[in-house]
Amino acid sequence: MSSALLAIGRRRTTAERRRDRERDIIRATRELFDERGTIDAQIDDIAKRVGINKALIYRHFAGKEELFALTLVDYLGELDKSLDEVDHPRRAPLNRLRALSEAFVDFCLGYPAFTDCAMSLLRRTGEQLFGEITEPVMMKLGTAMAAPLERIAAILAAGQRTGVFDEVDTDYLANHLYTQTLGSLHMARVGLIVSSGQPGHPVVHHADVGTVRSTAITATLATAVGRKALNHRTTTRSARAGEKS
């Protein structure tokens, strides 16, 4: 065998080893996320879980933020499979959106670290993200996010055609619902709500997970229906007022 072919073989083997190690690191990161949450998952712990020196992690990833972004890609792939399992195109758009919202909320509750990781990236500006994450990884993250968002946008468009949902840009609204749900589920993650007590003495309560879940789902449906619900309510009131007069 020629030296050129041997060199190609060695490069291919090296590339394969690199991909395998990257997968191992992402798998270990997700395991630690699910066990401890994102805050307590340190690079040292991830390296120990894989059985490598932590310096090797920085040879594969630009930094902690990039590693977390790729771990989020892994979560998003699983989320899209969960949404696909409950999505039935022949259902009415409102029922389809309810099924997807329930699956999304339950995924967030089942994997709290997914909510943490997604919220962590959402808190950064686009400029900050591109400064911390390389373009190929940003492409992977964007592609992973686009899959469930495209599914939601298609349902919103179907609902608009049948007159059920408000006439709002479907891509924008899909992104809004994604962010809105993550924010709602963060309340379950924190586990607390605050109310006013005596002056200067706020009262802290436990946040009931079931209430957070149902409210998040209802909020998704209400946002999709939007102004149509307000218009219907106004029309109904006007009709009742006319009947009384």
- Superfamily (CATH) of domain 63-231: Tetracycline Repressor, domain 2 (1.10.357.10)
Q: What is the pLDDT of residue 180?
A: 93
According to the model, what pLDDT value does residue 231 have?
Answer: 62
Considering the chain, what is the average pLDDT of its residues? 84
CATH of domain 16-60: 1.10.10.60
pLDDT digits (tens, 9 = 90+) for 125-174: 888 888 888 888 899 999 999 999 999 999 999 999 999 999 999 999 99
At residue 64, the pLDDT reads 82
Task: Delimit the domains of the chain by residue range.
Answer: 16-60, 63-231
Mean pLDDT, residues 13-26 taken together: 80
Confidence of residue 38 (pLDDT cuts 50, 70, 90): confident
What average pLDDT does range 102-115 have in this prediction?
93
Judge whether residue 233 has pLDDT over 70: no
Q: Compare 98 and 137 and report the one with higher pLDDT.
A: 98
Burial degree of 48 (CB within 10 A; 0-12, 13-18, 19+): middle
**Residue among 131, 224, 238 at smallest CA distance from 178:** 224
Does 245 have pLDDT greater than 70?
no
**Closest among 23, 120, 135 to 74, alpha carbons compared:** 23
> pTM for the full model?
0.80
Percent of residues, the chain, with pLDDT higher than 70: 87
Span 45-71, pLDDT tens digits = 888 888 888 888 888 887 888 888 888
